Amino acid sequence: MPKSRRNTLGNQQPNNNTIDDSELLERLNERINSTVSNLNSNHSSISNDLSDEIPVINGEQVISNQGITDIEDEAQRQEINNNFEDDSFFYADHEEEFQEELIRAQNEELEYEYENVLNGSMNTFGLEIEFINGDPNAIAKELYELGICGSDRQTGYHSRNVGDGLWKLERDGSLPSGGELVSPPLKDTPETWRTIEKVCEVANRNGAKVSTNATGGHIHMASTPLDTAKYRWHRLLKSAGGFEDVIFRTSGGEIGEVRPGVRQYAKPFYVNAARALQNNYPIDNDEHIRNFARSTSGNDRYQAVNLTNLYNLNKPNTVEFRSFNSSLDPRILQNNVKIANGIMFASEKARFGNSAESDAMKRRGQLLKNQRIGSKNRENDLSVRNFVDVLFTRKKDKDSVLKLYAKNRWYNG
């Protein structure tokens, strides 16, 4: 992570009162909207990274010097997510075209890309691809001979690194057979996408399959773009919790519906996200992030968004997205990465105040602000329209994810 900010807000303690989930969601959304209105009217001239999101403590608005140190850190973060294209296309302005695209998407094949897949993002990501059946040792041996795997045989669960930049094929006790292909940290390069394509080809040729019930495909995203910027973490909670219903639908991959196993291994995150937003944890340094992640996760990594790596000093600083079904189709894996990366991108960039980088980005911030935690608007596809408008700044990426959405069903678990 870039250097941490000083703690300028004091030792703010979370509220531990027990509240009914539905009441919590209602109170949370009312509180957010009320606070935002006050901040926008009273502090419209502030121009640092947090100008639209000034904290409220004991009913009083507080302007700290956090923005100063955030500006100092911004140069490092911009190297990760600053070279993106923005065509300023919003499906909210083209409702008829949006509905036509949803119809086309049902029958259109997914494409596989090699160049600039993540729209300029240089954030690192990692894949965990679970599978059943097949010959794990044969898969590992062939990938080893290709210079992709670090061992020529299946290794133990969470075995130590087999070499920097190399994949592993591990055992997984949750699966009756098969195993789990685990990537090293990856970046958006043609080599990365060709390697993922080759991994899938080798696994498929050696009999590996995905299960309609048990196999998950987990995406790890480096948390670096969020740094110790409190409201970037808040936007992560809003993005993941507000659009969770859509994320679950797009997680079905080639199976057509998110696997029943999510009830055990990727439980819905939106209630935890709502509680964390209401508690308004301080996030000004690395220790605050660890405390925030520990409290929000409840020490439970089996959630759709897993934050436990952030406070485990033996783990990389990643946010893990666990709802996706596993897939041995590289096109589906690529779109899953696009979604996870889009959530991280929106969490960093989708501001709705004067600090927004452009009018288009400010509009995305407003759409995200208005998205209610735990929202399920399935009747008119409004949630998925807002989802792609917030997460993606290129129309082609919106359309790619809409193909996944159109081919899958809602999760009703």
Q: Where are the domains of the chain?
A: 21-110+217-406, 125-209
Strand partners, 126: 220
Q: Is the pLDDT of residue 79 over 70?
A: no
Q: Could you tell me if 397 and 379 are in contact, meaning their C-beta atoms sit under 8 angstroms apart?
A: no
Tens of pLDDT, residues 275-295: 999 999 999 999 999 999 999
**3-state helix vs strand vs coil in the chain, percent to 5:** 45, 10, 45
Please tell me the number of Cα atoms within 13 Å of 361 on its side-chain side: 17
Determine if the pTM surpasses 0.85: no
List the one residue out of 294, 298, 293, 292 whose CA is nearest residue 280: 292
Query: Which residue, chain included where needed, has tokens 């309609």?
Result: 212
Distance CA 115, CA 85 (A): 13
* Poorest-pLDDT segment among 75-84, 114-123, 127-136, 153-162: 75-84
Alpha-carbon distances, residue 204 vs 114, 131, 141, 165, 212 (angstroms): 21, 10, 14, 22, 16
- Mean pLDDT for the stretch of residues 108-118: 97
Residue 173 or residue 336, greater confidence: 336
Distance CA 260, CA 274 (A): 24
Strand partners, 125: 186, 221
Please count the residues of the chain: 413
Structure tokens at 404: 């996944």
Label residue 314 by pLDDT band (50, 70, 90): confident
List the one residue out of 341, 325, 277 whose CA is nearest residue 123: 341
Q: Is the pLDDT of residue 12 over 70?
A: no
Tens of pLDDT, residues 173-216: 888 899 999 999 999 999 999 999 999 999 999 999 999 888 99
Instruction: Identify the pLDDT of residue 69.
Output: 45
Q: Which amino acid is at 124?
A: T
Please tell me the number of Cα atoms within 13 Å of 43 on its side-chain side: 23
Instruction: Identify the pLDDT of residue 379.
Output: 78
Query: Which residue, chain included where needed, has tokens 């929202």?
Result: 375
Instruction: Identify the pLDDT of residue 203.
Output: 98
Q: Could you tell me if 401 and 339 are in contact, meaning their C-beta atoms sit under 8 angstroms apart?
A: yes
Instruction: Identify the pLDDT of residue 108.
Output: 95
Q: Is 65 exposed, middle or buried (0-12, 13-18, 19+ CB in 10 A)?
A: exposed
How many other CB atoms sit within 10 Å of the CB of residue 21?
Answer: 12
Q: Among the residues of 66-160, which ranges form H helices?
A: 66-81, 95-105, 136-145
Q: Which run of H or of E encompasses 221?
A: strand 217-222
Pairing of strands 318-321, 305-306: antiparallel
Distance CA 60, CA 39 (A): 11
Structure tokens at 254: 């080639």
- Mean pLDDT for the stretch of residues 351-360: 88
Please tell me the number of Cα atoms within 13 Å of 96 on its side-chain side: 0
Alpha-carbon distances, residue 413 vs 27, 60, 266, 323, 336 (angstroms): 25, 41, 12, 13, 21
Q: Which amino acid is at 96?
A: E
Distance CA 77, CA 199 (A): 31
Contacting residues for 62 by C-beta, under 8 A, at least 6 apart: 9, 54, 55, 56
Tens of pLDDT, residues 361-403: 999 999 999 999 988 878 788 999 999 999 999 999 999 999 9
Q: Which amino acid is at 349?
A: K
Provide the 8-state DSSP code for 253. T
Instruction: Identify the pLDDT of residue 162.
Output: 72
Instruction: Identify the pLDDT of residue 297.
Output: 96
List the one residue out of 386, 404, 132, 389 whose CA is nearest residue 256: 404
Alpha-carbon distances, residue 194 vs 74, 112, 151, 397 (angstroms): 32, 10, 20, 19
